[in-house]
Amino acid sequence: MTNYQRDLILIVDDIPNNLKVLFDILNNSGFKVSIAKSGESALEKAQETLPNLILLDVMMPGIDGFETCHRLKKNQKTKDIPVIFMTALSETVEKVKGLHLGAVDYITKPIEHEEVLARINVHLELRRMQLKLVQEEKMSSLGQLVAGIAHEINNPVNFIYGNLIHTKKYIEDLLKLLKLYEVYTPVAHQEIQDFSELIELDFIKEDIPKILSSMMLGAERIQEIVRSLRIFSRLDEAEIKEVDLHVGIDSTLMILHHRLRATHERPAIEVVKEYGELVPIECYAGQLNQVFLNILSNAIDAIEEKINHPQILKLEKTEVDKLISLSSSYTKLSNPDSIFLKCKIYFTPQIKINTELTEDKKTILIQITDNGIGMSQKVQQRVFEQFFTTKDVGKGTGLGLAIAHQIIVEKHRGTLEVKSVPGHGSQFTIAIPIY
C-alpha cells in the first residue's frame, strides 16, 4: 500500500526508546512526525497541528491513553482525527474499551515495523475515503475507490485469519502436551522449574488463548467491514443485477457507522429498521447504494443541525406532562394547552427506515425518515436541483440529492419525493417499479 508522505503522524508515548523506534520507522517511510511525551502534551499538539493520524500509548503517567482519546473526541477540532492505540495489554475488554472511545484500531507491543505501517496506511486511506465519499460526495469514483480499498484490505486479512485458525490449533495441541508433561513428570528438573518461573509459564498458558481470541475478533471485524464495502461498491453496477435491497441498505449503514455513534454533543443516532417482505429486484445496485448514502447522510446532517441550533418549539399539553410536574404551578399558567420554550430540547435522534411491497406487488417503497431540523416548503421545491444546497461553504456540493433523484427517476423509472415539517424532520420516499 502506498504511504502518504506528506501526512503528519503524532506519536504519544512516555518511553523515549518507544518514541525513537516509531520515529525512525515513520521518518524513514517519508511521513512527517510529531512527538508528545504525555497526554496533556498530546492534546495541545493535536489542537495546534491537526495531525492526520495519532499513535497513542495506553499506559502513561498523568492522564492515560483512554482519557486522552476521550478528550480528543470531545474537541470539535480533533474529534475526526483517527486514533490508533498502542498497548501491551492483551485483554479483549481493554481493547473494546478503546474502540468504544472512538479509536479506529490498536497495535500490540512490541511494535512490528511492517504492521504499524500497514495499519497507518489503511486508516489514512479509509479516512481519505470517508472525506471523499461522505463530505465531498464524489459519487462518480465511489464504486472503484471502495472496491479497491476492500480488495487491498481483504487479501492480507484473509491470509492472517487463515493462519490464525491453524495457529490456534497448534497452540492448543502444545498446551495439551505441556499438561501431559506436568501430569507424568510432576517433579521437573531444577533448570526447567527456574525457566518456567522466569517466563511466567502459568501466566502465558492463561494469556495465549485470550490473545488469539482477541486477534481473531479483530480479523473477523475487518472481514465484516470488507464485506460491507464490497456490497456497497458493487463492481457490477454497470449491469442490472437481481439483488436484495435490504442488504444494500445495511451495507450503507455500516459505511456510515462512524457518523451514527455517540459524540460529546449528542447521543448515538438510533436507527429503526422496519423491513417488509420484499422480493429481489433487478437494478443498478451500486447506484442505489449511492442514493441510500446521500439520503442517510443528509438525515444525519439534519439531526446534528437541529441539536446545534436551539429553537422555539411548541409543546402540546401531553408533551408538557412528561417534562414538568403538574403541581399547583401548572394551574397558574395562562395557556396550559400550549407552551413555548426557547431552549435546547434533549431528544432521541432517530432515523427510521421502512420498506414494503405495494398491494399490487408492482412497486417497492422505501421510506427514510429523520427527526432532524426539517425543511421549509421553499427548500423542498428545490432540494433535487443540481448545485442547490443549504449547507455552509465547503460542506457540500449540492449534487448529492440531485444525482440521487436522477438515479431513481432516469435509471430505475421510479420516483423520489420528500415531505418535511420545519423543526420536526423529513421523510424521503423512494418508489421503484418491479419489472
Tell me the CATH architecture of domain 235-313+345-433.
2-Layer Sandwich (3.30)
pTM greater than the 0.85 cutoff: no
**Residues in CB range of 214: below 8 A, 6 or more apart:** 90, 91, 92, 95
Closest by CA position to 54, among listed 40, 35, 67: 35
Residue 192's pLDDT is 84
The helix, strand and coil proportions of the chain, stated in percent and rounded to the nearest 5, come to: 50, 20, 30
Percent of the chain surpassing pLDDT 90? 33
Question: Higher model confidence: residue 343 or residue 146?
Answer: 146
Q: How far is CA 378 from CA 209, 297, 311, 422, in A?
A: 61, 21, 19, 11
How sure is the predictor about 76, in pLDDT bands with cuts at 50, 70 and 90? Answer: confident
Q: What is the pLDDT of residues 202-254, one digit of tens each?
A: 888 888 888 888 888 878 777 777 766 666 655 445 578 888 999 999 988 98
Q: In the predicted model, is pLDDT for residue 341 greater than 50?
A: no
Q: In the predicted model, is pLDDT for residue 316 greater than 70?
A: no
Question: Higher model confidence: residue 343 or residue 179?
Answer: 179
Q: How far apart are CA 131 and CA 239, in angstroms?
A: 27
Dig out the grid coordinates for 36 from the structure. 508528545
Dig out the grid coordinates for 230 from the structure. 464490497
φ and ψ of 127, to 5 deg: -65, -45
Tell me the CATH architecture of domain 8-135.
3-Layer(aba) Sandwich (3.40)
